[in-house]
Amino acid sequence: MTGDAPPSRLEQQLTFLVELDKAKSIFRQSYVTDGSRKENDAEHMWHLALFVLILAEHAGEPIDVLKVLKLVLVHDIVEIDAGDVFVYDEAARVGKAAKEAAAAERLYGLLPPDQGAEYRALWEEFEAKETAEARFAGAVDRLQPVLLNLTTKGRSWAEHGITGDRVLALNARIGDGSPTLWDHARGLLHEAMRDGYLPSAPSAS
């Protein structure tokens, strides 16, 4: 771009793509499987894309796999501005929707208007969970951190004092997108409670 000329379509697209690099610095609560560090948002979205490709046959309803891939690859972009909020922290979630809406306005606004509208709509679809694709995207979005926690013997759950009753209640939404995946995950969670690294309920004081 030169002088005061508006950015070209390509320049807008490249600006957006470079901005996405910041997702690599937004860290989540789940640890990577070797326990060495917490995963970041970019890794999470990439991992979900592979979950979709490998597990699509277990969706509870017919789905457009390409649409689901788009949903999982854009759903956490807003956290570049809004930050990651631990899903079990109800106090921290106050005001989350407004922060993420403002983030969506800025970040998707970096794109050319047609693409910005398309990807903003995908993010809104993911949040609403009203389509089969969004429900399956939501299912793998919950399943992935459950598996990371199980692999690390409940490390992030233990750090935050999260008990099995809460994990089961929150992650039951996996069943909205895939009863098969939820049946399997629920069995793994009950095994973790039996093995003692996921307390079933808060201990009596």
Q: Report the CATH number that the domain containing residue 61 is assigned in CATH.
A: 1.10.3210.10
Residue 15 included in any domain = yes
Instruction: Give the pLDDT mean for 106-134.
Output: 98
Using the structure block, give the residue that is written with the tokens 């809406």: 101
9-13, 58-62, 179-183, 200-204: segment of lowest average pLDDT:
200-204
Residue 204 included in any domain = no
The answer to whether the pTM exceeds 0.85 is yes
Residue type, 203: S
Instruction: Give the pLDDT mean for 172-182.
Output: 98
Instruction: Give the pLDDT mean for 196-203.
Output: 83
| Domain count for the chain | 1
Long-range contacts of 80-84 (CB under 8 A, 24+ apart): 80/19, 80/20, 80/22, 80/23, 80/26, 80/41, 80/107, 81/106, 81/107, 83/26, 84/26, 84/27, 84/28, 84/29, 84/41
| Host domain of residue 55 | 9-195
Residue 32 included in any domain = yes
Residue 34 included in any domain = yes
Residue 158 included in any domain = yes
The distance of Cα 149 from the centroid of its chain, to the nearest Å, equals 15
Per-residue tokens: 105: 């306005």
Residue 41 included in any domain = yes
